[in-house]
Amino acid sequence: MLNTMKLKHFNKAAEEDGTEEILKQLDIKDGFQIADIGSGGGYYTLKFADIVGDTGIVYAVDVDQQNLNYISKEVEKRNLKNRIKLILAEANKSNLPGGEMDLIFLRNSFHHLGNRTEYIKNLALCLNGNGKIVIIDHKKGHRSGPSMNHGTGEGEIEGVMEELGLMQYRSFDFLEGQWFFIYKKS
């Protein structure tokens, strides 16, 4: 029950946080394969499933089985079994299929990654030739985050991505207190 309340709270917060503009900037097409890393309560997983249509697939990827169970119930209610696949990730491994993703989406989960460089390197292997990695994360020290020390410091995301040879495709600043970057293979 406590976990359900927490996930409903996360989904409500996501709903109030620039969703329509984020989705617009992602330019998702019918038939896309998308991975929602750290899917939590599935807010974006479900949004993506509406956009990718019957030929697309959204992978809800989380390390917490309770989160996936919560999403599973929503998938059942909305009859989205053919569009959403649930993946229990490991701390350092997403368990996604390689070379298939059009978009890999990390929202407020980058700062939770243990070995960020290794994890993102493995995620990049899951991208198809035109695939992109989207990272939205709290700015460490900004008052809008859960706490001043919760989030990612300036240059941390860019440093990891540059080290891996991933090129910043676009960046945005319309989310208060959050980084928003899109990367692709160079």
Q: What is the tens place of the pLDDT at every residue in 25-62?
A: 999 999 999 999 999 999 999 999 999 999 999 999 99
Q: How far is CA 118 from CA 5, 14, 122, 123, 156, in A?
A: 32, 27, 6, 9, 14
What pLDDT score was predicted for residue 160?
Answer: 96
Specify whether the CB–CB gap between 61 and 94 falls below 8 A: yes
User: Which pLDDT does position 18 carry in this prediction?
Assistant: 83
Q: Is the pLDDT assigned to residue 8 strictly greater than 80?
A: no
Residue 20's contacts (CB-CB under 8 Å, 6 or more residues apart) are none
Class for the domain spanning 2-185: alpha beta
Select the more confidently predicted residue: 40 or 11.
40
The mean predicted confidence, pLDDT, of the chain is 90
What local confidence, expressed as pLDDT, does residue 1 receive? 54
pLDDT at 45: 98
pTM, 2 dp: 0.91
Residue 186 has pLDDT above 90, yes or no: no
| pLDDT of res. 15 | 58
SS3 72: helix
Domain ranges of the chain: 2-185
pLDDT in tens, 64-87: 999 999 999 999 999 999 999 999
